[in-house]
Structure 1
Amino acid sequence: MLELLAYLHDSELVARFQRRCGLFLVEAAHHSRGGTPDTPRGQLRGRWDHQDNNSNFKHKENGFAIGGCSRPQYEVRNWLLYFLFLFSAGLGHEIFYITCLPCIQWNLDPFLCRRLVNMWTVVMYVGQVMKDLLKLPRPLSPPVVKLETRVNAEYGLPSTHAMAATAISFTLLLSAPSRIQFQFEVGLLIAVTLSSLVCLSRLYTGMHSVLDVICGALISAILVFLTYPYWETFDHFQLNSRISPIVGLLLPLFLSYKYPELDHYSTTRGDTTIILGVGAGCSVGYWVNEQLGQTLVPQGVLPVPLPTLTPNVLALGAVRHLVGVVALVGTRQVVKTLSLQVLYSWYGVAKNDDSARRRREIEVPYKFTTYTAVGLVNSILVNRVFILLGLM
């Protein structure tokens, strides 16, 4: 079993996939520090032992092998796959979540958006915590070409891109039949295709091993399977219970502060706080909408037919998308600026000290407040703005 795990976790396996897709490392150093590919058991075991004993392990091995002082250069020989996988990888970044996921609420059905946000929050939290508990490294560069750098300091297993893609695709597939008329087989094909593209993009960008991706997809599938029987029960609690807004706000805040501590800074705590903040804001917003009787459900007997994509419908959807994105991004910028100013003043931090944002007492409250506000605006205010502007 260890041999199989080592093989799936091997950086050279990722590098071979990249080369088959037309992405080549052109820097002279094509070797990695320590170990040999002929001893997978020792290689994997050595990495695990090393990371337990070395507090700087992530910064050394998750970025580039020791001896590589600059980012390796690469050559693209298949531009179609290059842009396809970069686009697919983008489906797991903040820009996608803040612009595209809310469109389901603005243009399709708030019920479906609620289901997606709930499952996305749970799956991403589990994945992020598992990364920092298991502490398995990302692929080495060289031999791997790394096309992203922001999350280099994070651990690798499981791939939260794979988890999110699997959860979003199949949560939508399982929830939509009760709301919208569509051919299930076509939906299944789309779900499998999109989740597979996102999973493969993590190999292409060099950010995850095959083991990371497989585990991410499997863990997400298990979570969807285990929680599916309780979705209706949770919906009822979230929308109708008097304690729902209290639980929806305080539990994510508690989990943000109790996120596992590392011996070095990583973006996982901040990213997890963002996810929990969005989930908290949306959860409170959904409860408020239900109490006000303004759930904006599709008109007609459910499941309703998919709307015909006429030029007028597309134009109206595009305008709603633009107005909604402006509202969310504007909220993000305003609340982020104000919360940082308050926290910097409270803790006596210089305003130009960007490193202070990494401190838990500043990072957690400013990110949680910012993205809770984003979630509230998305779930409560944006659709009401559409009504005022005559866009519904």
Structure 2
Amino acid sequence: MTNFVDFLKSPELVIRVQEFFGIKYVHRKRKRATSETNEENSETESVSLSPSPNGNLKKYEDEISEQKKIIIQNKFWYYIFLLGTELGDEAFYATFIPFWFWNIDGAVGRRVVLLWSSIMYVGQSLKDIIRWERPGFPVIRLQKKWSIEYGMPSTHAMVGFSIPFSVLIFTHQRYQYNFVFGIVIAVLWCTVVCLSRIYLGMHSVCDVVVGLLLTMVLMTVFVPLIDYADFFIISWKYSPLFLLFISIMIIVYYPISDKWTPTRGDTTTVVSVTIGILIGAWINYQLGNMIPLKSSPPYKIIWPTYTMLGLLLLRTILGMCCIVATIAIGKSISYAIVCAILGKDKNKLLNSENHLNNKDKIFVELCYKYLTYGLVGLSTQYLLPSAFKLLGIERPNFYTEI
């Protein structure tokens, strides 16, 4: 069993996947040819992997790997996997989640977001508990983002499975459509996201497999609970206090890593967006804005007319502009306020080193992300839909989705 796990963790397996999809390692070809013709040269090349004078072998190997060259022989897979990895990025969340609420279905959206944040919290926490490094030398990474984070499990794989399949599960309960077609789309989505992480050299096969298996287990537990929890959250009068308390506690007591990584901050962003959305839904329900339809699901899908498409584009453009402005203004104001409370210079703290011992910077960043992205979630579910209603461009069924 240990040998099998080591095989799945092997950098060589990552390279095999990369080469299968058209990445050519130039230095590997040259090294093999050299070893066939001149054994001494091969030995000399292996010696070059010894520790650097400062003793930091990992850093030195990373520097060596950066000097190696690759050739992208198949541009199709390159761009497909770049797109695939973006399906697990914050830019995707920031567009997909608001778009879904404003233009498709809020009831499904709340359930998907609650599942997404739960899955992400577990996965991100495990990264800092397990502390397995991402694939190292001789793998060449085609992406630098997230490189400082640990790799086990792959949260891209977890989200790549949980989002499409949770959308499938929750929409199948509410709408009439071809379920087999939905499964095909979900499988393709998940496959592209998972393979992209290996192709880009960001995860081992083991990271991805464990992420998928863990998500399957978590979803069997979370999906039934979330179906019940959704209505309880929006109908219980003390929900905001409960949600704020729980969210702050899980951020404060987030597992501490042995080095600084952006994992805790990213997790805070995910949690705060979810809390903002749930509180926004609670406000709508408590104000009597949400009235369920008299008919029971599953409902027929209403395909948009040209007028509906125009309103969809208008909501999306106006809404996304407001979201971008909220993030920019919210970050600046909240960062400055928290720094003022602590008596710290904003610019000095902002430019200081990211380190576990830099407690002030960690605290300020967690606070500004919690406040800013909590407001983003609240805007997505309550503030912007209210503005759409005032402008007469709201989605007609928005306030019926309980």
Asked if 1 retains the 8 angstrom alpha-carbon contact of 2:272 and 2:377, the reply is yes
1:187 aligns with: 182
Find the residue that maps to 1:208 and give its secondary structure.
coil
Find the residue that maps to 2:64 and give its secondary structure.
coil
Displacement of 1:297: 6.4
1:271 aligns with: 266
Cα 1:324–1:271 change in 2 (3 A) is same
1:148 aligns with: 143
Alignment counterpart, residue 226 of structure 1, candidates 221, 233, 239: 221
Asked if 2 retains the 8 angstrom alpha-carbon contact of 1:332 and 1:371, the reply is yes
Cα deviations across residues 158-200 of structure 1 (Å, max 9, x unaligned)? 0001111211111111111222221111111111111111111
Alignment counterpart, residue 125 of structure 1, candidates 112, 121, 126: 121
The AA in structure 2 aligned to 1:362 is V
2:377 aligns with: 375
1:221-260 matches, within 5 Å, as: 221-260=216-255
2:86 aligns with: 90
- Are 1:164 and 2:159 matched, yes or no? yes
Alignment counterpart, residue 388 of structure 2, candidates 366, 386, 389: 386
Asked if 2 retains the 8 angstrom alpha-carbon contact of 1:137 and 1:156, the reply is yes
Displacement of 1:231: 2.5
The AA in structure 2 aligned to 1:104 is W
Asked if 1 retains the 8 angstrom alpha-carbon contact of 2:129 and 2:257, the reply is no
Asked if 2 retains the 8 angstrom alpha-carbon contact of 1:128 and 1:268, the reply is yes
The AA in structure 1 aligned to 2:116 is W
1:318 aligns with: 313
Find the residue that maps to 2:24 and give its secondary structure.
strand
The AA in structure 2 aligned to 1:24 is K
Displacement of 1:295: 3.4
Equivalent-residue separation in structure 2 for 1:60 and 1:234 (angstroms): 49
Find the residue that maps to 2:71 and give its secondary structure.
strand
1:114 aligns with: 110
Asked if 2 retains the 8 angstrom alpha-carbon contact of 1:336 and 1:367, the reply is yes
Equivalent-residue separation in structure 2 for 1:357 and 1:322 (angstroms): 37
The AA in structure 2 aligned to 1:159 is S
Displacement of 1:69: 7.5
Equivalent-residue separation in structure 1 for 2:91 and 2:67 (angstroms): 25
Displacement of 1:356: 4.4
Displacement of 1:232: 2.8
% identity of equivalent residues? 34
Cα 1:22–1:291 change in 2 (3 A) is same
Find the residue that maps to 1:248 and give its secondary structure.
helix
Displacement of 1:228: 2.4
The AA in structure 2 aligned to 1:14 is V
Displacement of 1:12: 1.0
Find the residue that maps to 2:302 and give its secondary structure.
coil
Alignment counterpart, residue 364 of structure 1, candidates 354, 363, 366: 366
TM-score normalised to structure 2 length: 0.84
Displacement of 1:83: 0.7
The AA in structure 1 aligned to 2:117 is T
Displacement of 1:106: 0.7
Asked if 2 retains the 8 angstrom alpha-carbon contact of 1:249 and 1:284, the reply is no
Alignment counterpart, residue 105 of structure 1, candidates 101, 104, 124: 101
Cα deviations across residues 39-72 of structure 1 (Å, max 9, x unaligned)? xxxxxxxxxxxxxxxxxx9x974x8725527465
1:80 aligns with: 76
Asked if 2 retains the 8 angstrom alpha-carbon contact of 1:64 and 1:140, the reply is no
Equivalent-residue separation in structure 2 for 1:30 and 1:342 (angstroms): 57
1:4 aligns with: 4
- Are 1:346 and 2:346 matched, yes or no? no
Asked if 2 retains the 8 angstrom alpha-carbon contact of 1:72 and 1:141, the reply is no
1:281 aligns with: 276
Task: Choose 1 or 2 for highest CA Rg.
Answer: 2
The AA in structure 1 aligned to 2:4 is L
1:207 aligns with: 202
Question: Matched residue pairs, number?
Answer: 365
| CA RMSD, Structure 1 to Structure 2 (Å) | 2.5
The AA in structure 2 aligned to 1:389 is L
Displacement of 1:208: 0.4
- Are 1:139 and 2:141 matched, yes or no? no
1:17 aligns with: 17
1:307 aligns with: 302
1:335 aligns with: 330
TM-score normalised to structure 1 length: 0.87
